Structure 1
């Protein structure tokens, strides 16, 4: 790669809550001029194989996942997301934990739909499952059902307080964050905290927690992200420098139901190379 390599380390496909299949995603990444793409679907590695099979020439694929975590040092407990790069997808404990989280996500989704239907909202759980195309089911799929029903106009509106953001929001099971960091490392992966300072998403964890996570294996922080303000990006970069953590940037691309485009934010080649060097779970980077 050249020094001008374009690297996007956070994207989603239909294996979780994206709108493009893994094959469509890698083709779109090549069309967008990316050199490296990370596929990081929520709590699953199911999209890896079809993405590798469809890789266009010149595009490198970093296989990863975005893991649903929770920190119990606050009341109520704080949810957070951990990007796990190049883990061994067959690591037994990782497989079991991700399966547990996916099952809990699906159970919560079905309960949310039951609440909506009890209030006369005409949404169908079987239709939502079908729309997920076998991927990890979550609130974004319910949001799409609300849009199709003409009840809301956008995903943001669906996640507002009148709908999935508050009135019809239910808790779900996640992985305790310290356990998740250790588990990613045990599976040979490299854990990076996704959008750690995004106050627009709600409450954020204190910097002291990030420092503690660094002592048990946290490798990096995602700084350049659509949900970070310029001041928040600067704060994340400063904290990463203090803790000697890798700094990443990415689109968090989900497809047509969000406005952010592939490559909207990117990662420096040096940071990418540090991630690859630290990994021992998946051998090598996939490329055509």
Structure 2
């Protein structure tokens, strides 16, 4: 297996440029990567230009969605979309709405932290964010840099936790809407790390079956956050529902300790995704 279908660049919350990403992928022995920056396709052109000989990229994105829990609360669920038309009007409109809200959200979180006495600045957070919108990972890195907190993970477990003191809520895309957006744009929707974090509690077998009826194409079975029991369970669900099974590292460069290629997708599944998608992979 030579494909890792869940990687991030500096166009969202990763740290790698396209060139750095491909160098890491080649060193890991990969020939195929899935470009899945958060809620954006703005890195596609740069990545397409940088693809080295012998490498191919499945352009995609990781959609931020939410799904209701039994108590009515909304739980964050991430959704991978591959080979969809990024110029689709519905996707463009939804991402613009989210971009506008996130830009305001990131600024407000930084301002709240500054007001509380944390030694960070909005200018520095913008420098860290680079070409992407200000997100919590960028704020977390600024907090670590300032010495206010020990690690990015610690920041998310405390200061930047959902619903915490410094949280600024967003209106998120619903999970079913996300699946429909990707499918209607000719793409292939796959649930990202469905047994990780809070999503595991809401993504029951019955819920996943309903999502399959709504157009879900696959499950990310092999992921660093999944133990052996979770992988076995998800593989069984996927087999029963006729869903594709993918494996991915969720690589973020220096922002996380994950290693590109540490989890992989079979060549057969990669070809099935390509056959179903509206776009062709980026190659040179």
Whether the TM-score (by the shorter chain) exceeds 0.5 is yes
Unaligned regions of 5+ residues in structure 2, if any?
A: none
CA distance in 2: counterparts of 1:45 and 1:195, whole angstroms: 21
Partner of 1:29: 25
SS at match of 1:8: strand
Deviation per CA, 1:61-103: give whole Å up to 9, x if none.
1100000111135421111111000011111111111121122
Task: Look up the match of 1:118.
Answer: 115
| Compared CA separation, residues 201 and 142, structure 1 to 2 (3 A) | farther
Residue of structure 1 equivalent to 2:168: 170
The whole-number CA distance in structure 1 between the counterparts of 2:198 and 2:206 is 20
Residues 76 and 198, structure 2, Cα contact 8 Å, conserved in 1: no
Which residue is equivalent to 1:275?
Answer: 273
5+ residue gaps, structure 1, are none
What is the aligned partner in structure 2 of residue 47 from structure 1?
A: 43
Superposition RMSD on alpha carbons, in Å? 1.6
1:225 aligns with one of 223, 226, 230: 223
Relative to the length of structure 2, the TM-score reads 0.94
* Aligned twin of 1:144: 141
What is the Cα deviation at residue 285 of structure 1?
Answer: 1.3
Quick one: distance in 2 between partners of 1:119 and 1:210? 42
Q: 1 CA distance for matches of 2:103 and 2:225?
A: 26
Instruction: Note if contact 1:198-1:204 (Cα within 8 Å) is conserved in structure 2.
Output: no
- Name the CA shift for 1:225/1:200 in 2 (closer, same or farther; >3 Å): farther
SS state of the match for residue 5, structure 2? Answer: strand
CA contact (8 A) 1:6 1:266 kept: yes
Show the counterpart of 1:189: 187
**TM-score when scaled to structure 1?**
0.93
Confirm or deny that 1:153 pairs with 2:154.
no
2: CA distance between counterparts of 1:13 and 1:180?
22
Q: Kindly tell me the number of residue pairs found equivalent between the two proteins.
A: 281
Contact 1:128 1:141 in 2 (8 A): yes
